[in-house]
């Protein structure tokens, strides 16, 4: 290792430590922090984020990168060292455009914004959150201007979460799959409908909790590196190597939210747990993008957790936990119930056929807000109108409408499209997995998840953020991100369920 690389890694390690400390504060904020702690927490996180930003954008880091770029030509371009220089340079060039004052400002805005969102959501009153969102949108617009000229004001925000992609790329993908999904939903609506009343019963919280913990343990979630806690909106967070935590929420009268939400977050955590240890305390100790990350959570949640083979194994176990609720119910009835297609208000509880429409709606709103075509104070009205247009139902209140997701309270404009892209990537990967692990359905039916997790560790998890998302997908599947595999998956699954 050259002297310059050693020096760079030392600085990056210290920055990682600061970011991990900030992440601990963020996790605590959403799990155990008392409401009145928001102001002090925002100031503390703002200070930490500012310190990390100033350390990373220092002249010293710039000089080390200049020196290393003269050496990197002699290295294997796919080596950890070469990729570290490339990825660090990309982040450095982006971050040096952002004043450190804006970094600390954002931390304080998001901390106070999240606290306001929680209150607004609980009371179903958007005006409580509105002034905070106004400030966060203003911050996002000022951030975007730092990267002008751009093709679209949304591009700089999207690039944070999906490196190398532009709004036009995502719109093109969505424009291709939207009519196909709308057609599928129409055909399903004309078929005999599925009864999902079995899911809407009293389910004891401890029974739900223990069953979900057992399943994610079977998946391979390593409890020595994690824990499970309650929160308002489920999330996964990495607080450093060997510390990958998940959170969830439990509904006492609906089976789906806790169980599938927990599988989803465990998928994220197993991805994080699988990143090569050699990459820790560097920018490579991460996912290439949120779409790649979402491909892992959606895969475990849906392609595994909502599959028929999965429930052929686990349904008898669930019946033992809830014998009264599931008495006389067969696995086929339960499988169809958890896969019922119907427009719903809540994104995280949406079925696979309609889920992407929730994302397209949000992206359309975000782009309009960033462009200044939509006013923040009118978001509940815009939301209601677009929701009716996209899904054919109208949310009854702000809690089940514009306030349902936590992301805007953290200033995450440009984030939502990655959920739909993650769905597409999960199906692309699944087709390759089906070729590499020919009896994958049989293994799921036997609850043998190790081969799947090992495959994912090797191809997706271990490389961390060495490769940009499109490059990683191309390397594994032979094509860039597209919706073809996902549409094939949906067509096959719902043709079987609904007899289309």
Quick one: which H or E segment has residue 238? strand 236-238
Task: Tell me how far apart the alpha carbons of residues 198 and 384 are, in angstroms, rounded to a whole number.
Answer: 29
Alpha carbon distances (Å) from 170 to 147, 372, 421, 430: 19, 20, 8, 21
Coil/strand/helix, residue 229: strand
Nearest to 294 by CA among 469, 418, 162: 418
Residue 425 in contact with residue 481, Cβ under 8 Å? Answer: yes
Report which DSSP code applies to 439. Answer: T
Q: How far apart are the first and last CA of the chain?
A: 60
Specify the 3-state DSSP secondary structure of 246.
strand
Burial of 274 (0-12, 13-18, 19+ CB in 10 A): buried
Alpha-carbon gap, residue 353 to 336, rounded angstroms: 13
Residue 204 has a CB neighbour count (10 Å cut-off) of 13
**pTM of the predicted protein model:** 0.92
Whether 265 is a known active-site residue: answer yes
Q: Distance between CA 85 and CA 366 in Å, rounded? A: 33
- Written as one string, the DSSP assignment of 100-167 is HHHHHHHHHHHHHHHHHHHHHHHHT-HHHHHHHHHHHHHHHHHHHHTT-S-SSTTHHHHHHHSTT--H
Q: Which long-range contacts (CB under 8 A, 24 or more apart) does 15-21 make?
A: 15/52, 15/55, 15/56, 16/240, 16/280, 16/281, 16/282, 16/285, 17/240, 17/281, 18/48, 18/51, 18/52, 18/55, 19/48, 19/52, 20/239, 20/240, 21/48
Domains and CATH numbers, the chain: 3-149 (no CATH), 167-498 (1.10.1370.30)
Residue-wise DSSP of 26-83:
HHHHHHT--GGGHHHHHHHHHHHHHHHHHHHTSHHHHHHHHHHHHHGGGS-TTSHHHH
Q: Of the residues 108, 162, 265, 301, which is catalytic?
A: 265
> Which residues does 97 contact at the CB level (< 8 Å), separation at least 6?
146, 147
- State the pairing for strand pair 244-248/236-238: antiparallel
At residue 247, the 3 state secondary structure works out as: strand
pLDDT score, position 35: 87
pLDDT the model gives residue 74: 86
Residue 175: is it exposed, middle or buried by C-beta count within 10 angstroms (0-12/13-18/19+)? exposed
Helix segments in 228-340, DSSP class H: 256-273, 290-298, 308-321, 331-338
Q: How buried is 179 (Cβ within 10 angstroms: 0-12 exposed, 13-18 middle, 19+ buried)?
A: exposed
| Half-sphere exposure (Cβ direction) of 340: Cα atoms closer than 13 Å | 18
* pLDDT given at position 403: 96
Spatial distance between the Cα atoms of 235 and 240, rounded to a whole number of angstroms: 16
Cα–Cα dist 7/85, whole Å: 12
- Each residue's pLDDT tens digit in the chain (500 positions)? 799 999 999 999 999 999 999 999 999 999 999 989 988 998 999 999 999 999 999 999 999 999 999 999 889 999 999 999 999 999 999 999 999 999 999 989 998 999 999 999 999 999 999 999 999 999 999 999 999 999 999 999 999 999 999 999 999 999 999 999 999 999 999 999 999 999 999 999 999 999 999 999 999 999 999 999 999 889 999 999 999 999 999 999 999 999 999 999 999 999 999 999 999 999 999 999 999 999 999 999 999 999 999 999 999 999 999 999 999 999 999 999 999 999 889 888 889 999 999 999 999 999 999 999 999 999 999 999 999 988 889 999 999 999 999 999 999 898 899 999 999 999 999 999 999 999 999 999 999 999 999 999 999 999 999 999 999 999 999 999 999 999 999 999 999 999 98
Q: Which of 375, 356, 350 is nearest to 365 (CA)?
A: 375
């Amino acid at each position: 290792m050259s002297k310059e690389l050693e020096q760079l890694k030392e600085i990056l390690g210290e920055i990682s430590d600061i970011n991990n400390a900030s992440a601990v504060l963020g996790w605590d904020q959403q799990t155990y922090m008392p409401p009145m702690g928001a102001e002090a927490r925002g100031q503390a996180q703002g200070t930490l984020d500012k310190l990390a930003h100033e350390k990373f954008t220092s002249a010293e880091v710039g000089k080390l990168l200049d020196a290393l770029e003269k050496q990197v030509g002699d290295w294997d371009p796919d080596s950890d060292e070469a990729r570290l220089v490339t990825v660090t340079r990309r982040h450095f060039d982006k971050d040096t455009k952002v004043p450190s004052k804006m970094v600390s400002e954002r931390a304080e805005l998001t901390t106070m914004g999240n606290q306001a969102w929680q209150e607004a959501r609980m009371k179903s009153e958007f005006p409580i959150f509105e002034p905070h969102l106004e400030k966060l949108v203003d911050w996002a617009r000022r951030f975007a201007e730092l990267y002008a000229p751009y093709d679209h004001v949304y591009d700089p925000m999207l690039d944070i979460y999906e490196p190398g992609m532009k709004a036009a790329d995502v719109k093109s993908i969505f424009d291709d799959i939207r009519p196909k999904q709308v057609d599928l939903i129409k055909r399903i609506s004309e078929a005999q409908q599925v009864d999902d009343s079995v899911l809407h019963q009293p389910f004891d919280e401890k029974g739900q909790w223990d069953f979900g913990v057992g399943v994610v343990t079977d998946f391979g979630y390593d409890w020595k590196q994690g824990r499970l806690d309650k929160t308002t909106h489920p999330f996964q967070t990495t607080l450093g190597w060997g510390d990958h935590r998940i959170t969830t929420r439990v509904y006492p009268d609906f089976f789906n939210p806790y169980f599938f939400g927990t599988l989803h977050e465990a998928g994220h955590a197993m991805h994080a747990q699988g990143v090569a240890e050699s990459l820790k305390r560097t920018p490579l100790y991460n996912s290439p993008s949120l779409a790649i990350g979402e491909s892992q959570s959606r895969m475990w949640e849906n392609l595994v957790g909502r599959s028929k083979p999965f429930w052929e194994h686990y349904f008898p176990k669930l019946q033992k936990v809830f014998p009264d609720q599931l008495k006389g119910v067969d696995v086929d009835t339960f499988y169809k119930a958890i896969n019922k297609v119907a427009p719903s208000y809540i994104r995280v509880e949406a079925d696979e056929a309609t889920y992407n429409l929730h994302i397209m709606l949000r992206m359309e709103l975000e782009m309009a807000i960033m462009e200044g075509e939509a006013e923040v104070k009118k978001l509940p009205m815009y939301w209601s109108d677009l929701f009716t247009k996209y899904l054919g139902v109208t949310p009854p209140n702000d809690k089940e409408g514009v306030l349902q997701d936590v992301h805007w309270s953290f200033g995450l404009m440009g984030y939502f499209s990655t959920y739909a892209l993650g769905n597409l990537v999960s199906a692309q990967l699944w087709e390759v997995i089906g070729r590499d692990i020919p009896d994958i359905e049989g293994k799921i039916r036997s609850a043998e998840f190790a081969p799947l997790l090992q495959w994912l560790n090797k191809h997706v998890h271990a490389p961390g953020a060495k490769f940009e998302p499109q490059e990683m997908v191309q390397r594994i599947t032979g094509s860039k991100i597209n919706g073809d595999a996902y549409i094939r998956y949906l067509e096959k699954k719902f043709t079987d369920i609904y007899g289309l």
